Homo-oligomer: A and B are copies of this chain.
Amino acid sequence: MEGKRPVVVIVGAGFGGLAATTALAGEPVDIVLVDQRNHHLFQPLLYQVATAWLSPADIAAPIRGIFSTRKNVSVVLGSVVGADPARKTVSIDYGGRRGELPYDFLVLATGAGHDYFGNDAWEAFAPGLKTVEDALSIRERLLMAFEMAEMLTDPAERDAKLTIVIVGGGATGVEMAGSIAELARAALVRDFRRIDPRHARVFLIEAGPRVLPAFPEKLSAAAKASLEGLGVTVRTDTRVTGCDAGGVMLGDERIAAATVIWAAGVKASGAAAWLGAKADRAGRVEVAPDFGVPGCAGVFAIGDTATLTDSAGRRIPGVAPAAKQAGHYVGRVIRAALRGESAPPPFRYRDPGNMATIGRRAGIADFGWISLRGPIAWWLWGIVHIYFLIDFRSRITVSINWLWSFLTYKRGARLITRTGR
* Chain B residues positioned under 8 Å from A400 (CB to CB): 393, 396-397, 400
A94 touches B55 (CB 8 A): no
A69 adjacent to chain B (CB < 8 Å): yes
In the bound complex, how far is the Cα of B191 from the Cα of A77, in angstroms?
13
Which residues of chain A from 389 to 418 have a CB within 8 Å of any chain B CB? 392-393, 396-397, 400-401, 404, 410, 412-418
In the bound complex, how far is the Cα of B151 from the Cα of A78, in angstroms?
10
A346 adjacent to chain B (CB < 8 Å): no
Contact A416-B71, Cβ < 8 Å, known A65-B191, A396-B400: no
Contact A39-B415, Cβ < 8 Å, known A56-B55, A77-B147: yes
A286 adjacent to chain B (CB < 8 Å): no
* Chain B residues positioned under 8 Å from A75 (CB to CB): 191
Shortest Cβ gap from A188 to chain B (Å): 8
A377 adjacent to chain B (CB < 8 Å): no
A342 adjacent to chain B (CB < 8 Å): no
Q: Looking at the complex, which one of B55, B192, B392 makes contact with A57 (CB distance below 8 Å)?
A: B55
Chain A interface residue number, banded: 35 or more
Which residues of chain A from 183 to 222 have a CB within 8 Å of any chain B CB? 188, 190-194
A62 adjacent to chain B (CB < 8 Å): yes
Highest count of chain B CB atoms <10 Å: which of A55, A76, A97, A150: A55
A339 adjacent to chain B (CB < 8 Å): no
In the bound complex, how far is the Cα of B194 from the Cα of A3, in angstroms?
14
Extra pairs beyond A62-B414, A65-B410 (5, CB < 8 Å): A55-B57, A57-B413, A69-B190, A77-B147, A393-B401
Residues of A within 8 A of B (CB): 37-39, 55-58, 60, 62, 64-65, 68-69, 71, 74-78, 94-95, 97, 99, 132-133, 136, 143-144, 147-148, 150-151, 188, 190-194, 392-393, 396-397, 400-401, 404, 410, 412-421
